[in-house]
A and B are shown apart, each in its own frame.
Chain A
Amino acid sequence: MTATTATVVAGGPSAWATAAASVLQVGAVALGGPLLLGLMGKVRARAEGRTGPPVTQVLLDLRKLVRKEAVRADQASAVTALAPRLLVASAAVAAAFTPLVTTRPVVATGADAFVVVYLLLMGSVALALGGLDAGTAFGGMGSSRAMTIGAISEPALLVGVLALAVQSGTSNLPGIVDASLAHPGWLASPQRLLALAALVVVVIAETGRVPVDNPSTHLELTMVHEAMVLEQAGPDLALVTMGEAMRLGLLLGLLANLFFPWGIDASVSGPAVVVALAALGAKTAAMAVLIALVEVSTAKLRLFRVPELLAGGFVLAVVAVMTGLVAR
């Protein structure tokens, strides 16, 4: 499969190079995700006038958690153990062939928008099942809330990417990024702007940021994600945090490359990859800082208002698709 892919991408890099690039992408997401989380925490703290923990705090937390003993609820089944692993695995697979550093990742022909979205969805479902498994009230409540949000945000994500797919004539993510590189004028087209607005809403919901969820709250009335993982501890919690951080890195990176593709590598040659890595870091860091700054100045929405926000994102995505269909 990898061999045929390499020949399909005419004149493209060798199978080994693409595989190496994909491994690099997974590594970048695995390391970059926690750093982005740390950066957001730092920016929030600074904006609020505190010094705040260092940017590497999330990584340090992870190291601490991994060393702990695994503790699981008595009633928990294998799902509790499986869910964090599935979350990380799905994020890693998605990261392997999403165009983050290069538009020539391994199995590039299979890097369809639908595949990536469904991989992400698989992670969410696994996490929700994990939350339900222990049978506690908080876990169930968190899972139920997370699914309520996910039920609208996942379709919106799909439709939002579809709007770009309509414009580029392909639902292959590397293909979309290639096409946007070739047509810089597309950035100002109405469907792009609408899709961007929709996807920003979706990414904020998917990564559990204010105003949809507050990652730093442990108030039972408001928490969504934190309630869901309340029963996880030790290495399991480390995996969950890791998985969530990878999703954040993945989604921000995807968003950045779909709308601002400049700097991404298209040939898998040494120096270009280094530049692409730096560009990815800069773009995602800039977005993380923006999100953190908005978070500081925004109040979390009441839970029943969240569907309103997401439905708005969904409609914007639908409108973007239609605009794309009519304004080709």
Chain B
Amino acid sequence: MPDTNLLSVRDLKIEATSYPPGEQPKRITIVDGVSFDLQKGKVLGLIGESGAGKSTIGLSALAYGRGGAEITGGEVKLDGTDILKLGKGGIRKLRGARICYVAQSAAAAFNPAHRLGDQVIEATVKHGLMSKQEARRRALYLFQVLGLPSPESFGDRFPHQVSGGQLQRAMTAMALCSNPDLIVFDEPTTALDVTTQIDVLAAIKQAIEETDTAALYITHDLAVVAQISDDIMVLRHGKTVEYGPVQQIIETPTQDYTRALVNVRQTAREEAADQSNPLLKVDNVSAEYSNGFKVLHGVSLHLCKGQTLAIVGESGSGKSTLARVITGLLPPSEGKITFEGKPLTPALKNRPRDDLRRIQLIYQMADTAMNPRQTVREIIGRPLTFYYGLRGAKKTARVKELLEQIEMGNGFIDRYPAELSGGQKQRVAIARALAAKPELILCDEPTSALDPLVAEGILKLLMKLQEEQQLSYVFITHDIAIVKAIADSVAVMHRGRLVRFGPKSQTLSPPFDDYTDLLLKSVPEMELGWLEKVLATRRMESAGN
């Protein structure tokens, strides 16, 4: 049988040497025994949580090991030639010419010192595939296909002059410029807002179809990969869990892990019936930065005891700023905030200690919110000493009790943050907030940096704690699915203004305002053909206008 595969990977094994502090260096296997085939013009989705080895596999198609990863076994055949045996010069001729790469963060992957247009055509020209003029014409064509604004002059801009979504499309243009056979997309939409993500997804899908390029599409979002792939490979701990056509994986998964990924949002609760007795009341609050830039415009909302208020919106909508205003980190320029009927002092430094204790914060990046040189005992113990004056054995007992509450054992008490997983770190951050025995916890995207199954665990924990301790949450997120699952009331924010606020059932049902409508429709759904459907509706609407 003749080999019709463009890319054929067999028994791939990738290893790296890790240097744990204070121990002997050890070999770790990142990817083990992975095999797949990719035909011309097809898209294979690689999906899994972080550390599953999906990016590493994607980069192996360029014979590249990131950060000391080495391909130590198996073969990667492009049109029947094993590219692992090509040597440095041979592989350089392929990279940027026949195989291209689209990075997760285009903002970091573009060189800040050069114009976008020069970077887009650089590889194509350097590999001698086109003259400079031809490459420029091709870049212009690609900027048009990808829907970039004023495509004629787009290439003259520097990376810092365009938005994140535009950069991601420019990166796709850079990959497509040389007419490659294969493109590796490494989480190209993960860092984008949902409303931007859908445009980039559509642009990528159209560009792939138009140019008949094959692609490896790496993501942790099954709903996204379902829109764009022909086949899906589910990975975990560097091994293949399940590999098959997209329809089979989404509709009839055979493995438990895949089933868990498909059905990840099972947490759901009914909203509270009585939302009339507010604990926190934000009344016509505006805020501005010290340079006079206004970030919040007359926001009013409230939250009842023991309930959850979800604030949704894209980046730059002012949702985190609102949390900073509530904590007093950024005092409001107008309006007032009342807590249990009493007005809160606007600025943090003037607040009585007991008011500080009653409102706690959990951050998106547990990593950066903890001192890496303190153990879990010190991290959780600090508020115990600060608010309650606990020391010695009493403090240790309380830390253990808190560890129990966050479903982590005593064994973690002397660990450092670096020795914890992402989910465990977020749990410790929750315990630190709980240590103050607060009434209100502001959760600023606490799960958005986590893998879906881990995030699910954190959400369940937060809901359990709410039930046990009558906690109230302000939950900031851009993920509508989470809002649907956990909120009692919902506030939608856009460009510093409150677009919509009310009980969940009311806010998330029609009739919608334009922005909420766009936001809700942009959330990828685990349904084949969802993207086409949305795009078709959009076309009809714009034709109707």
To the question of whether A and B form a pair in one complex, the answer is no
